Amino acid sequence: MNDETRLFRALNSNRIEELDVTFKYFYQKYKPLLIFVAAQYIKNKTDIEDIVQDTFIEFFNNVDKIHSSVKSYLITSCKNKALDFLKKQKNITYFDIENIVYLQDLNNVGEASFYVNDNLIQIIEDMGKTLSNEEINIVFLHLIYDFKFEEIALKLKQNIMTIKSKYYRALKKYKKSKEQKTR
């Protein structure tokens, strides 16, 4: 059963227990992913947890108004809450390798570990050994968040050609470091 069907059944059920179980299911399933999303923008673990909690509270309060997929709604909401937090702080920070330890702690969550698995953490650690934080940020914004180069350029206040060259150079550098390790 997909997430939207599960949510629809729970909302239309007369049983409070079913709604409670459904919300716990979504919380368990998406919490690690939302922590990862928030960690792309925020460094402080407490702030990350607050943003994730606020995202779930908003989700639970507006569940009847959701018209997109649950995953899409949660990711977008979390990202927007993190960006709003940064605007209030006026201290924009991007992905930081130090968050990996925090993300690894989430690996013991159970079925939710599908989203934050050892393979992803290993890739991030490998990138951290080879690439700068700015290069990692550009690669993640483009590959994971599907930002266009124009959007990344605006976000980082750089020329689009600079962003493109940094992106392709970072991929090449990472690929070369992986090839050297296998030799």
* CB neighbour list of residue 136: distance below 8 Å, 6 or more residues apart: 95, 97, 124, 127, 128, 170
**Which alpha helices (DSSP H) does 40-148 contain, by range?**
45-61, 70-89, 99-105, 118-130, 133-143
Average pLDDT (113-120) is: 48
Tokens representing 65 are 């108004």
- Please give the residue that has the higher pLDDT: either 169 or 94: 169
The pLDDT value recorded for residue 92 is 42
More confident residue, 40 or 107: 40
Of 12-16, 48-52, 176-180, the poorest mean pLDDT is in 12-16
CA–CA gap between residue 123 and residue 128 (Å, rounded):
9
Q: Which of 95-109, 122-136, 148-162 is the least confident region?
A: 95-109
Question: What percent of the chain is predicted at pLDDT more than 90?
Answer: 12
Compute the distance between CA of residue 114 and CA of residue 55 in angstroms, rounded to an integer: 20
Q: What is the pLDDT of residues 14-23, one digit of tens each?
A: 677 777 887 8
Across 73-101, average pLDDT? 70
User: Encoding tokens for residue 99?
Assistant: 């968050």
Q: Which residue has the higher pLDDT, 95 or 145?
A: 145
Confidence at residue 103, expressed as pLDDT on a 0 to 100 scale: 45
Q: Per-residue pLDDT for 161 more than 90?
A: yes
Average pLDDT, the chain: 76
pLDDT value of residue 118: 52
Report pLDDT for 163. Answer: 92
Q: How far, rounded to the nearest angstrom, does the alpha carbon of residue 138 sit from its chain's CA centroid? A: 14
pTM over 0.85: no
